[in-house]
Amino acid sequence: MEFKKENIKAIIGLGNPGQKYYKNRHNIGFRVVDEIANRLGLNWLKKDNLEYAKNSFYLIKPQTFMNNSGQVLNFLLKKGILPEQILVVHDELEKKFGQVAIKFGGSARGHNGLKSIIGVIGSDFYRLNVGIGRPQDRAQVSNYVLSNFTLNEESQIEFFINNAVDLILNS
């Protein structure tokens, strides 16, 4: 299915709550939705287990920690939002650092935030993958995603976040 912004009613950025996690690789979803809110002049509101901002669509930051991200979906389902009207922004180990792409459906590929969401609504939703690269040693994946970007990566991250936001808002 082709992605069209006007068909999206909710954008969920995946991450872990709290300032200490903000610059982690796993939190790139939060950073992308924060930039969308910034560009659109939206303010974040708190409700139960999420932060949200409202425009013609909802921006959502789950406050449940990554592995329980799906808990925020009841908020959207009660508003009549269908899975195919949701875009989830998340980090992607299988893409090189900074690559961004939108796709529809698919598996969680080991991503616990996606597993949690799929457990609630199935796999038929849009995903914006933001490449974070992968450590050479598979045993280091957990530490890698919970580590901050390097200084070199952080110097480039604003550019990649802006690319991701442009891809969403200009589609």
Stated as kind and residue range, the H or E segment containing 36 is: helix 28-40
111 catalytic per annotation: no
Which residues fall within 8 angstroms of residue 22, CB to CB, at 6 or more apart? 15, 30, 31
Tell me if residue 3 falls in helix, strand or coil: coil
Over its C-alpha atoms, the chain yields an Rg (Å, rounded) of 15
SS (H, E, C) 37-95: HHHHCCCCEEECCEEEEECCCEEEEECCCHHHHHHHHHHHHCCCCCHHHEEEEEEECCC
Catalytic residue among 16, 17, 26, 27: 26
CA 112 to chain centre: 12
Q: Measure the CA–CA gap between 2 and 19, rounded to whole angstroms.
A: 35
Active site residues: 26
